[in-house]
Amino acid sequence: MAPSGPGSVRRRCRRVLYWIPVVFISLLLGWSYYAYAIQLCIVSMENVGEQVVCLIAYHLLFAMFVWSYWKTIFTLPMNPSKEFHLSYAEKELLEREPRGEAHQEVLRRAAKDLPIYTRTMSGAIRYCDRCQLIKPDRCHHCSVCDKCILKMDHHCPWVNNCVGFSNYKFFLLFLAYSLLYCLFIAATDLQYFIKFWTNGLPDTQAKFHIMFLFFAAAMFSVSLSSLFGYHCWLVSKNKSTLEAFRSPVFRHGTDKNGFSLGFSKNMRQVFGDEKKYWLLPVFSSLGDGCSFPTCLVNQDPEQPSTPAGMNSTSKTEFLLCWNAAYITPVPPLLLSPFLIDHSTSSGGACHDPTILLEAVTPVAVPKPF
């Protein structure tokens, strides 16, 4: 039987309190349904055609809003796979070693077969003391969930869940459909809102629902548009909220656009390759959440170029000197299997104005020009 005490009671109370924002949004959504569908469409609208069109469009947006919100709340965040957890022997060895180079040497040996390329600000292996695992790229520990979350974006109190690799697409769709929901209500309610102030509505309780419905929809439209716009920008740059505030650090240094593959490929990272699923809250994101495509990253030679079980194609890296106007081959490097082909991507320009690293196959060796 689990021990009960002050700490256990506090944790239970905290879990209950975390649901308050979700309950608030649910109650607000329920009231908006009553105010719009019943009081506005059925009671106040006199034109039958207008009623039918508004009710059909409203219920479509309402269904997509609720579906994406539900998926964002109840999709469990993904945690690192077992291969990133230290073995019992490695944990014992790590506990015996003091913090410092010896400690890092243990982690380097444990991480030698893992596809990780990001580091801490000091250049050390990213390790979580609480979860006792080596963090995959873009993985962070959530203090609220007390877990390491793959491609963590942020912990959202409005969904009482961590937004990360497993539900980031759902979160984006939730923002999109909630914004469309509010804009639709505000647009179709506007004429009746004006009638309220010009005494053009009958003196019933419907007029107050209509007034508050417009205010609520307009207010949420402003806040949601800014939030949705910000996350659209993050998707276009293939960044998370955490990475926007603190750029990821690779072996060669900080690179704020290290995961950017160009606009089209960045979109596909979140929404997937099949466009028919883009607008539906079903999981279609690319990858496994543990390793990600990288752009212009000098990979760590101590790390494998592919996860276990995958074959990589031999690649030759070239240095393109813009000022010299010729291409000079440089020795092959261990490259990520996901290193992009810049000839087919947009927005994947080099961040150094003098050089551009381009991955090409050995059979496509260009001649000096």
Query: Which residue stretches of the chain have pLDDT < 50?
Result: 1-2, 297-369
The catalytically annotated residue of 54, 139, 156, 295 is 156
156 is catalytic: yes
Range 25-34 contact pairs with CB under 8 angstroms and sequence separation of 24 or more: 25/69, 25/158, 28/216, 29/65, 29/66, 32/185, 32/213, 32/216, 32/217, 33/62, 34/209
Write down the pTM of the prediction: 0.78
| Tens-place pLDDT, residues 240-286 | 999 999 999 998 889 999 999 999 999 999 999 999 999 999 999 99
**Cα 148 from Cα 203, distance rounded (Å):** 56
- What are φ and ψ of residue 253, in 5° steps? 130, -175
Q: Which pLDDT belongs to residue 101?
A: 85
Distances from the Cα of 346 to the Cα of 50, 111, 304, 342, angstroms: 44, 33, 28, 7
| Tens-place pLDDT, residues 202-241 | 777 788 898 899 999 999 999 999 999 999 999 999 999 9
Q: Which pLDDT belongs to residue 4?
A: 58
